Amino acid sequence: MANNAASNSTAGESEDRTDWWYIFALLVIAALGQVFTVFYVPAGNFNTLGTVTGVALAALMAGGLIGFLFGIPRRLQDGAPSPAGTAEAEERSLYAGNTNLEQISDWLTKIIVGVSLVELGPIVDFIKDTGTAVAKSIGMADEPAFPIAIIVLYVICGFMIGYLWARLYLPKALNNSERVKRRLMAELDELHKQNEADVTAVKATQAQLADQPSARPTAEQLVTAISAASTETRAYVFYLAENLRWKTWRDKKPVMERTIPVFQALIASDKDSLYHRNFGQLGYALKDQRTPDYAEAEKHFSKAIEVRGGGADNDWQAYEANRAVCRIHLDPNFAQQPQLPAAAAQRDAIMADIKVAAQDGWTREWLEKDPTVAAWLALNQQQFPVTPSPTP
């Protein structure tokens, strides 16, 4: 794809250089006519030179205007439009090689052609009379052929320069401006759609977290809304749910449970599992709800640790601490009466989590005070890990 783009770019530059040679050649011809004028008129007669130069420039401009009118590109109207944003839509020529200016150009060119065909004799006579008048003004009344040749030469050169410029370069400029406009309009349309999706996601989240059950979206609607939101808006949705969970998990558990669908929707929208905090927050909510789901909570803590990157050298050791609590509640020997020590594999997994959690001072402090953890350690004749010595 890159090679094709480079090849197209090179070809375009080569074509532009070739196009310039046409106009450059015509300019050379016009310049040669002016050089010829310098040598033809009497030496030192600057009035004569100025008159001839003025006539030549007037003829050049007149011819250029007529050539421009004949070469004005017409906007393409035929053919089905290509889908927006596709390569075909980007590359397809929008202008042929004529809005209001195009219609005026059509009318004027038809008038010029019609008048030229009908009034060809008077036009020839006008050129002869003009050449004769110029010849008299420069003291060359007996040689009107030279001014006539200058007028004809510069009209033709001006016509070709105006026509070629309008045919070769004006369509490219119009095409480029049209493509820029289309890209900008497409980008604005995408921004508008994304803004609407973000507003929908925030409203759906606020409705889910609010006190009116009838206004809450379904789980599917919440997933759809949050999945369509931008990364920044999903982060805002996350903090709305996290803040509510943190404020209510101890004494307003029914309110806290409203955050569970939000975290589930955030996980569903994270196709590549990039954000461990989504999994961690869902684990906290599942563990702390009125009817704890320790199995699902343990599963989400494990996923959060996997995404975060496991080990004591990472932050968020609270994941291991809470997973240890979940595993203790899931220990069948601890749940039965009378209680029995855990199986070796279960015991080792729980102790491994406790050891990682103990590396963080805040996590260690609340884990040591947890009565369930203390009872399990006593039953299994295990000691809470010793606080690591500070680094000298």
Q: Examine the domain organization and report whether 215 and 364 are in the same domain.
A: yes
The predicted model gives 78-88 an average pLDDT of 48
**pLDDT tens track for 245-278:** 999 999 999 999 999 999 999 999 999 999 999 9
CB–CB of 282/260 below 8 Å?
Answer: yes
* Residue (of 258, 257, 256, 275) closest to 266 by Cα position: 275
Are 156 and 259 part of one and the same domain?
Answer: no
Residues 142 and 218 in one domain: no
What the block records as the tokens of 292 is: 């704890």
- 115 and 205 inside one domain: no
Enumerate residues 6+ apart whose C-beta is below 8 A from 284. Answer: 245, 249, 297, 322
Q: H or E element: which one contains 374?
A: helix 371-379
Greater confidence (344 vs 145) lies with: 344
- Which has the higher per-residue pLDDT, 104 or 43? 104
Kindly indicate the confidence band of residue 352, based on its pLDDT and cuts at 50, 70 and 90: very high
Q: Is 389 within a domain? A: no
Under a CB-based contact definition with an 8 Å cutoff, are residues 147 and 135 in contact?
Answer: yes
Mapping DSSP onto H, E and C, the string for 22-38 reads HHHHHHHHHHHHHHHHH
Same domain, 146 and 264: no
Residue 386 domain-assigned?
no
Q: Is residue 37 part of a domain?
A: yes
Q: How far apart are CA 353 and CA 351, in angstroms?
A: 5
Closest CA to 282 of 315, 329, 326, 231: 326
Task: Read off the pTM.
Answer: 0.66
Domain-embedded: residue 174: no
What mean pLDDT is reported for the chain? 81
Within a domain: 391 = no
Question: What pLDDT shows up at residue 24?
Answer: 64
pLDDT exceeds cutoff 80 at 109:
no
d(C-alpha 322, C-alpha 279), whole Å: 12
- Total Cβ atoms within 10 A of residue 390: 5
- pLDDT-derived band at 95 (thresholds 50, 70, 90) equals low
Amino acid making up residue 163: Y
Provide the residue range defining the domain that includes 54.
Answer: 2-168
184 within domain boundaries: no
Q: Which DSSP category does 184 fall into?
A: H
Residue 288 in domain: yes
What are the tokens at 271?
Answer: 């196709």
The per-residue pLDDT for 343 is: 95
Does residue 158 sit in the same domain as residue 261? no
- Do residue 228 and residue 80 come from a single domain? no
CATH number for 284:
1.25.40
Considering the domain architecture, whether residues 223 and 87 belong to the same structural domain is answered as no
Say yes or no: 245 and 362 in one domain.
Answer: yes
Specify the pLDDT at position 25. Answer: 64
pLDDT over 50 (residue 369): yes
When pLDDT is cut at 50, 70 and 90, the band that residue 168 belongs to is: confident
Q: Looking at residue 80, what is its pLDDT? A: 45
